[in-house]
Amino acid sequence: MSSILAAPIKKDHEGVPVVKIVFWGPTMAGKTTALTIIKVLKTLEDPSLVYKFLKLEDPTGRTLFFDQAIFGIGRNIKTGLPYMKYHVFTVPGQDRHSGQRKVVLRGAHGLVIVIDSEKTRWEENKKSLMELNALVGEKMYNGTLPYFLMLNKMDLPREERISALEVGKLLVEAGADKNLRDVSSRIVETSCLEARNDLKKLLSTADKSKIIDEHGRLRKEVRPKSVQRVIKPVEALIREILVKVMQAEKASA
């Protein structure tokens, strides 16, 4: 199993396999907001599969060490336990927390690389990518550490933000273009601000029967597009990791 993934998949105290996903990026790029949106969405859709949510922030709202949440996937009818859990972390983006970032990154099975699309944050994005490339660039290159790029704050006026096409230039300047393969197919444009507002608007719907199923849970098909884009990288990574696990099991059979 570990030969196809950067790290072996371990089981928790109940024997459930746990996958680790890390949100990486510069400070104030939207990592914690994205994780909060995912937590709220999953709680509305199935609260029994939300196991943990922890935010460690300073008074300005910046992450001090990491944020984390644990979610389940499906449920085994016999045991009542999820088939798998995914443990999602964010890293602190400030320069002084480079040591913490290395610790949080350790043992990751997938990455969501958050890029702040605001043009004035170009250098911060580049520095963040350079650091990530130095730490795990080879693993991304050989495919054992799958990733997605989240280009956030795309609600900004066009003249104030970079485009998906300009991400390539950013990667070149950061020296990460060779290791981040197939990057054009792995960019997801998001606006955590829009997602948060659209989620609030959805929940204020007068006729709840249109958005809630017979069990009192939010129907997945009513997810706002902005929210769907925020959660897309994590769900895509989980699918990709599961495929790798099945390939490894087949090869060892």
For the packed helices 167-174 and 122-141, what is the interaxial angle rounded to 10 degrees? 70
Predicted confidence at residue 56, as pLDDT, reads 55
**What is the pLDDT of the chain when averaged over all its residues?**
90
Q: Give the pLDDT mean for 126-133.
A: 97
The yes-or-no verdict on residue 175 having pLDDT over 50 is yes
3 assigned to some structural domain: no
Any domain includes 1: no
Per the domain annotation, does 5 fall within a domain?
A: no
Residue 2 lies in a domain: no
CA distance 91 to 184: 24
Closest CA to 192 of 83, 36, 73, 79: 36
| Residue 54 in this model has a pLDDT that exceeds 90 | no
Q: Would residue 4 count as lying in a domain?
A: no
Which residue, 138, 151, 152, is CA-closest to 180? 138
Measured distance CA(134)–CA(250) in Å, rounded? 32
Range of 94's domain? 10-252
User: How far apart, in whole angstroms, are the C-alpha atoms of residue 238 and residue 143?
Assistant: 14
Q: Which pLDDT belongs to residue 207?
A: 86
How confident is the model over 183-228, as pLDDT tens digits?
A: 989 999 999 999 999 999 998 987 888 899 998 999 999 999 999 9
**Lookup: tokens for 40:** 């709220």
Q: Does any domain span residue 167?
A: yes
Provide mean pLDDT across the span 95-102: 81
In this structure, what CATH number is given to the domain that contains residue 147? Answer: 3.40.50.300
Residue 50 lies in a domain: yes
Mean pLDDT for 105-133 is 97
Q: Is 129 helix (H, G, I), strand (E, B) or coil?
A: helix
Domain total of the chain: 1
Counting beta carbons within 10 angstroms of the beta carbon of residue 45, is it exposed (0 to 12), middle (13 to 18) or buried (19 or more)?
middle
Main-chain phi, psi angles of 196, to 5 degrees? -65, -45
Q: What is the pLDDT of residue 73?
A: 92
Tell me how far apart the alpha carbons of residues 235 and 154 are, in angstroms, rounded to a whole number.
21
Q: Whole-model pTM?
A: 0.91
Whether 2 shows a pLDDT value over 50: the answer reads no
Shortest CA distance to 31 belongs to which of 159, 125, 126?
125
**Tokens for 16?**
């459930």
Encoding tokens for residue 163? Answer: 């485009």
Which range is least confidently modeled, 122-136, 138-152, 202-216? 202-216
| Assigned domain for 238 exists | yes
Burial class (CB in 10 A: 0-12, 13-18, 19+), 142: exposed
